[in-house]
Chain A
Amino acid sequence: MAVSEQNLSGNLAEGFNAIPADGRPLAIEARGLVKSFDGTRAVDGVDISVPEGAIYGILGPNGAGKTTTLRMLLGIIDPDEGVRRVFGHDRPHDIGRLIGYLPEERGLYPSMKCVEAIAFMGALRGLPLKEGRKRAVELLERHGLGHAIDRQIRQLSKGMAQTVQLLGTLVHQPRLVVLDEPFSGLDAINQGKLEMMIRALADDGVTVIFSTHVIHHAERLCEGVAIIAGGKVPYAGSVEAARDRIPAQVRLETRAREGAWLSFLPPETRRNGDFLHFPLPESGIEPLLKGLIEGEAGILSLSIERAGLHDAFVAIAGEAAARQLQADSEGAAA
């Protein structure tokens, strides 16, 4: 078993799929995960490694295979092929007390009181009921739901119920928190609160892995991401490395529309209104600037922008996946 462990993590650490572990042990490692439903491959060879204490995002449009991947990592379903390890265990149930999970489709017993629902979720992870109730009261009060302690779940708003379930995910103080689309259904204020909670967890050394189809959350929060499209993972690694995979973009505004200066622009240049966009040439900005000035472009403004995660996503997953992601994101916001 020790040999296979070394091989597994060694292969992953050397590949581009890993984010720098900096000597940290891996909380999650998966290789070649495959899952088919009714003959269709929902997940097709996913490799992921997440060091302990990292915030990790699984990014992709709806139906890309994010939830299936998370369910396999948690042991809810078994992969058809491949290997998964959580804290070194290939059976995630063996370390059930260390994991907190918020599923995409929220589930709570409607007749349960908030405090009981949270304590029950803790009990499922080995927290004694009495201690669970005590912590539930503390958590509810800390998150502004002190008035709802004895209210039944069915009496809560959707946002409140979602918060209660999130608190139930955290009540037993897990070392790994897995959140499936945690931001969906939350308003902007609650999304901000959730981001703060996720950062606070990571500050306490908790590993957080979440799926999302909203790139901004991943960009703001994550140390590493896995991009999933069509069941495959074309990229898994650090956010920085993803952004570095495409060159910085130059945004240029000129007085002149025609002239010799145009010949200095790279062939990928796109016009968008008064602005020209193109990747920063490998030779750097100085030769380009010289050409523009000598060619009398009449530079009104010029800025160099580092590529965002969205650009990286477009470059890695392709335009079609990016468009679908955008549509999902807008649908969720609406």
Chain B
Amino acid sequence: MTQQTPRSRLSAFEAAWVIARRDFVAVLFSRAFLFFLLGPLFPVIVGGLAGSIGGEVQREAVSFEVGLAMSPDDNAAMVAAGEGLAPQLGQALPLLRPVPEAAGDPAFDARAFMEARRGNYAAIVTGTLQSPTLVGTEPQIARWQGPVGLVAGHALAAEPTAFPSVAGEPVAISAASERTTRIQTAQIAQMLLFLLTMLLAGMVLSNLVEEKGNKIIEILAAAIPMDAVFMGKLFAMLAVSFVGIAVWGLAAFGLWSAGGDAITQVTGFDPANLPAPAVGWPLFIALGIIYFAMAYLLLGALFLTIGSMASSVREVQTLSMPVTMLQLMVFFLAAYTIKQPGSALEMAAIAFPLSSPFAMLARAAMEPELWTHALALAWQAFAVLVLVKGGSLLFRKRVMKSGGAGRDKRRKALKTA
């Protein structure tokens, strides 16, 4: 005699939440996570230090000084002309300094002086204002020939040249060039998205190894459905990733606040000059966060499934190579389509779930429509569910050695019993 007890179980969401909460806390409060957080900061810090030291060394080593070995009057005229032109031309002009060794020495040999590696001049000017000669290496001559001629010409002028004041009137970017400039924003956003997913999604690969090694998977599988385990693990790692991104973002902000100008000077990149995306910066950033989550969940679901098939950490490491290649291919597909808006290839990149977040983020930079994002996000969310469901089924079948009869077959057996 069987009496059916009322259902008494956790919902899929509750079950996933139990797993996610445990994994999140376990990862966040582990020592390894600290190293994980510091990992990407090492190259930034080392790069920053190397850059600043290198810059300093370069500033000291690369001389912008051009020596003057002309007559005292010509030297004075050249210095005065240089100073007169400096406000307009700035660093385009060399620093002009009379060579002390040449003062009062009519036999001064500039060539011998340079070859003897004396002084710290990029080049030395000899001759007269009417016919100056630049002594130096070929590259330095090529670099300073024009500016020195300009200074000499200015020194020869009877009256100092009057420079008119030039007013600035910025204009909005023209429609024709808008798309071209926004490509830069799209490319940078895609690259950032790729780097973050590559750095962070790989963590998921080894996520089930602990459970399998410790046989905890038996307890989990007995208590809750396997897709809830998968979903919980995915969201836990996504939350961990957001913590990582927040920490790195804060570190980057701090670094930028401390030495943004220097960074701009060294890298030649200033984010303030980035063209505004078509949907506007606030929405673009929001979409960036959502697409990161989607890219992470999609790749993560795939990685979790692949990783769950591995029986050891060594196998996981072996699997990481094809997985990285897959990430690269997805990125290249999306990156290739940036310059081909509306093409079949772009549509394919949007439709293929793994590249969809990358392609859509680029689209957000280029096109102002929003409904396409709603559609793409719904599609990506559906793909996440399918991948998680498929992954958990595969895991049950291949690893837990379950399946075979299938639910329908069992129900049929139940009816005929």
Contacts and interface: CB of A to CB of B under 8 A. Distances in A.
- Of A79, A98, A121, A126, the most chain B CB neighbours within 10 A belong to A126
Contact of A25 (B2, B15, B26, B413): B2
Contact of B410 (A71, A79, A88, A106): A79
A112 B404 CA distance: 36
Given A78-B402, A95-B5, A96-B223, A107 B216 contact: yes
Contacts of A251: none
Contact of B414 (A4, A80, A95, A120): A4
A83 B414 CA distance: 6
Nearest to B216: A107
B3 interface: yes
- Of B5, B225, B413, the most chain A CB neighbours within 10 A belong to B5
Nearest to B30: A111
Contacts, number: 145
Nearest to A73: B222
Given A25-B3, A121-B219, A96 B224 contact: yes
- B-side interface size class: 35 or more
B50 interface: no
* 4 A-B pairs with least C-beta separation: A88-B4, A107-B215, A77-B402, A107-B216
A80 B407 CA distance: 10
A101 B223 contact: yes
Interface in B236-290: none
Nearest to A38: B401
B405 A37 contact: no
B400 interface: yes
B9 A126 contact: yes
A35 to B, nearest CB: 8
Interface residues of A, number: 57
Interface of B: 1-5, 7-10, 14-15, 18, 22, 26, 30, 210-211, 214-225, 396, 400-407, 410-411, 413-417
B26 A78 contact: no
Contact of A13 (B1, B214, B410): B1
B179 to A, nearest CB: 52
B9 A109 contact: no
Interface in A80-100: 80-83, 85, 87-90, 93-99
A205 B404 CA distance: 35
A43 to B, nearest CB: 12
Contact of A78 (B4, B14, B404): B404
Given A88-B5, A109-B210, A124 B217 contact: no
Contacts of A98: 5, 8
Secondary structure class of chain A's binding surface, majority of residues: mixed
Given A13-B1, A80-B404, A82-B413, 14 more contacts: A8-B417, A9-B1, A9-B2, A31-B417, A79-B410, A81-B413, A96-B223, A97-B9, A101-B218, A101-B223, A107-B214, A112-B26, A125-B223, A126-B10
Contacts of B407: 78
A26 B1 contact: yes
A101 B15 CA distance: 17
9 contacts: A8-B2, A94-B7, A96-B9, A108-B216, A124-B220, A125-B10, A125-B223, A126-B10, A175-B5
A269 interface: no
B405 A81 contact: yes
